[in-house]
Structure 1
Amino acid sequence: MLVEFFRNNKVVAGVLAIIRVYLGYQWLTAGWGKITGGFDASGYLHGAVANATGDHPAVQGWWATFLENVAIPGADIFSILVMWGEFLVGIALILGLFTNFAALMGITMNFAFVFSGTVSTNGQMILLTAFLLVAGYNAGRFGLDRYVLPYIKQMFNEKVQNENKMAQAH
């Protein structure tokens, strides 16, 4: 019942638009700061691995193993993914374009930061993003999704119909 309320109510869509723009602005400014500031993730990644020791480590061993074996060797790629991922998620959320995908990518980055021992605003952003994900299409109702998603759906349906016609002809 609550999920249906989140997914269908137009007042909720308005509140979600405000949340979406707020989150988008947070991502956009964080990404832009990294893009223009010469961001290098390697120091952050090494710091996260260092926090995986002691009686109550901030970083779990399994995540530190991932960071050591995948992220640190690929720090150049991860740097690009983080700064441009943050920036593009921000733009998409502000515009309400592919909102659910942008929210999913944002919450994935937030969890990666939390797993790496950074609390900051990530918990708040995870909670707010969860509302967007639960709301589905309604989160982008007052955004470009309102126009783009029906168009994509129509194009997909036309393609399927054409393929079915061709299959029946053979």
Structure 2
Amino acid sequence: MTTTEITTGTNEFESTIGGVTVRGRAHSLSAWFVLALRLMMGYAFLYSGWDKIAAAEPFSATGYLLNAVPAESPLVGLFHWMGTTPWFADFLAVAVPWGELLVGLALLAGAFTRLAAFFGAFMMLMFYFGNWDVAHGLINGDFAYMLVFLSVAAFGAGRILGLDALVERYEIDGQALVEKYPRLRYILG
């Protein structure tokens, strides 16, 4: 009879912020769940971006910025400014759909994952304030998706069946790319 064992490796993590240290140990199956989160958010953003780019009418955020943001939102003034400032509204007409598409592609490929996840989290933070509704508390879907993006970045999801694992190991003059340029660790992973 053959058995398959799940092996545990170095699935331990630790972080200290402000003098408080947290430690944890992930199950070996955690890698699959982190991969699933990366692919889910990648698909969602790719689809959303492509839907805006391929639409019959050009994308514009102006109507949303001026009419859909609740008056109770702490950033309603900022959203109003964005919608009434022509150059910024034009910028958003390109940045939102193409940003979503590029974040989605990067996450699906596992390339520049931390950078993509950062921009995805930033977009979700803006959607959180733009869709402000605290009737059921401060946590809503936009906030939860922001945390998913941050988790994808924190766990280095691009190293799991992603191109980041290959890019990090790429050698220049016999030295791994991330060893030669350590700051790349902030955008890869």
- The two structures have a TM-score, normalised by structure 2, of 0.67
RMSD: 2.8
Give, in angstroms, the shift of residue 71 of structure 1: 4.9
Which residues of 2 match residues 10-159 of structure 1 at below 5 A? Answer: 11-37=29-55, 38-48=58-68, 51-52=70-71, 57=72, 59-60=73-74, 63-73=75-85, 74-117=88-131, 121-135=141-155, 137=156, 139-142=157-160, 143-151=162-170, 154-155=176-177
Contact 1:13–1:140 (8 Å) recurs in 2: no
Question: What is the distance in 2 between the residues matched to 1:95 and 1:118?
Answer: 32
Structure 2: which 5+ runs fail to align?
Answer: 1-11, 15-22, 134-139, 183-189
Of Structure 1 and Structure 2, the greater helix share is in 1
Of Structure 1 and Structure 2, the greater strand share is in 2
Structure 1: which 5+ runs fail to align?
Answer: 161-170
Percent identity over the alignment? Answer: 31
SS at 2:102 equivalent: helix
Give, in angstroms, the shift of residue 134 of structure 1: 2.4
Question: What is the distance in 2 between the residues matched to 1:122 and 1:43?
Answer: 20
Amino acid at match of 1:80: V
- The two structures have a TM-score, normalised by structure 1, of 0.74
Give, in angstroms, the shift of residue 150 of structure 1: 2.9
